Amino acid sequence: MSLYDFSGAKVLVAGDLMLDRYHFGSVSRISPEAPVPVVNVKRTTQTLGGSGNVVNNIAHLGADAVMMGVWGEDADAQILKGMMDSINIECDMLVTDAPTTTKLRVIGEKQQIVRLDFEEVTPLTREQSGTVSARVKEHMKTCGAVVISDYGKGFCTLDVCEDIIRLAEIHNIPVIVDPKGSDWRKYAGATTVTPNVKELAEAVGRYVPNEDEAIVLAAREIIDRVRLKYLIVTRSEKGITVVDGNDFMHFPTQAKEVFDVSGAGDTVVASLALALAKGFSLKDAVTVANRAAGIVVAKIGTAPVLLSELNSSHDVKSKLMPLDALLIELEKARITGRKIVFTNGCFDILHKGHVTYLKKAAELGDILVLGLNSDDSVRRLQKGPDRPINNEIDRAEVLAALESISYITIFDEDTPYELIKAIAPDVLVKGADYKVEEVVGREFAKKTVLIDFVHGYSTTSVIKAMQGDKK
């Protein structure tokens, strides 16, 4: 497969922008004021939500985007602006009296306790719609595709959608719609709409089973009703189906394992729009979107697909991440009840003993995190003046190709004490050459497990054998 390159592509994303905020904490008691849990908040994270997740995907796939929507004159709008500035997204937003749409989720231990919505669903006025139309007309001159990202919050009115679709047709630019609700008349004339099976059933007005024949039949009914060129139906574990008036194509899922479908639709829309903006054929564009979807559903929570992941046959680079990003991923994993296992080491020259050890470690939980000693750390451990033989990035990439490892983070200290303290794994794993009471950081893990090494295998013995020293 040749490498994808979306540089130079620019997509106009018009839709409902929102801020997703998460409070993660622990629960140890019930409030004396009411029969509700008291959450001691330990961490707060914020992400681009709604149509913001589409532009986030576009940016991480190496392309440009313009974000059009509405926000309030408040602190949350400034947070969203800062997030989009950090990924070089151009903002062309209307400011309204309503608050910026914000979803706040409180997570206690592994369960979502409550979600608070800060929003006022108010459709745009005719005057505001006219302003949007004038701005869209200017953006059409530099964009190769348009996404209408409709979350039903008031931006995607009939007037706005009709004007976008009309202007795109004049400029011969494809319009991809991520729909909301059962009335799709406002999407009439769009290039394609990208519903999941549930959304397709809502639009057609009856139950639609996730079966090939039923999907094609319902899709053709909608195509005729809404005057679309074709329909792209995302079907979870069954992949993607593309239907036009005369033909259809089924694309089996490329996901090896589905952890979380959150945001998968946004990823499909973003990657599809970029591929069409770059002039890909419909088949090739959907192939890209299907590949991207297969990557994102293997992640926990709403997360963008990286260009390096899309271009990697094993998605190995996505496993290596700094500690702050890793902690966010692990917080999301804990929400779903997944057990986190941690181990660490130098892993200078990978051999059978390493592979067997890591496989056994991974079997103790759902997610195996590997703390990898940095080059400086290896040298300080007195491994010898010529060690490590392989630098930390090369070692990380080789290790990331192992299916047993979920995440890798590099640490520079002599011991992984601070790393284990931050991660607080369910299971801490070390080799059986240690005693449990000697294991660094064991007080931060729920359980410490020692695993026997494979007899006769060690990095030192491998190096000596390579040098001809059989002693």
pLDDT at 42: 86
Look at residue 402 and tell me if it is in a domain.
yes
Q: Check whether residue 101 and residue 142 sit in a common domain.
A: yes
Q: Check whether residue 324 and residue 301 sit in a common domain.
A: no
| Burial tier of 85 (Cβ tally within 10 Å: 0-12, 13-18, 19+) | exposed
pLDDT at 397: 87
Q: Check whether residue 412 and residue 351 sit in a common domain.
A: yes
How many CA within 13 A on the CB side of residue 270? 34
Q: Check whether residue 375 and residue 408 sit in a common domain.
A: yes
Look at residue 5 and tell me if it is in a domain.
no
Look at residue 349 and tell me if it is in a domain.
yes
Look at residue 382 and tell me if it is in a domain.
yes
- With contact defined as beta carbons under 8 Å apart, do 360 and 341 qualify? no
Spot the catalytic one: 20, 76, 260, 266: 266
Residue 469 falls in the annotated catalytic set: no
Q: Check whether residue 225 and residue 139 sit in a common domain.
A: yes
d(CA 243, CA 2): 27
pLDDT at 382: 65
pLDDT at 385: 66
Which residue range(s) make up the domain with 62? 10-314
Q: Check whether residue 431 and residue 460 sit in a common domain.
A: yes
CATH number of the domain that 323 lies in?
Answer: 3.40.50.620
Pick from 104, 113, 118: which is nearest to 45 by CA? Answer: 104
| Residue finishing a domain among 258, 292, 314 | 314
Those residues with Cβ within 8 angstroms of residue 384's Cβ, 6 or more apart along the chain or in another chain: none
Look at residue 45 and tell me if it is in a domain.
yes
Q: Check whether residue 229 and residue 84 sit in a common domain.
A: yes
| Residue finishing a domain among 289, 314, 339 | 314
Q: What is the dihedral of CA 458, 462, 463, 466, to 10 degrees?
A: 170
Q: Check whether residue 328 and residue 246 sit in a common domain.
A: no
Look at residue 1 and tell me if it is in a domain.
no
Look at residue 203 and tell me if it is in a domain.
yes
CATH number of the domain that 105 lies in?
Answer: 3.40.1190.20
d(CA 315, CA 303): 15
Q: Check whether residue 281 and residue 380 sit in a common domain.
A: no
| Residue finishing a domain among 314, 338, 373 | 314
Regions of the chain short of the pLDDT cut 70: 1-2, 255-263, 298-302, 312-318, 336, 382-385, 454-471
d(CA 226, CA 204): 11
Q: Check whether residue 416 and residue 368 sit in a common domain.
A: yes
Q: Check whether residue 132 and residue 281 sit in a common domain.
A: yes
Number of domains in the chain: 2
Q: Check whether residue 135 and residue 235 sit in a common domain.
A: yes
Look at residue 4 and tell me if it is in a domain.
no
Those residues with Cβ within 8 angstroms of residue 7's Cβ, 6 or more apart along the chain or in another chain: 62, 63
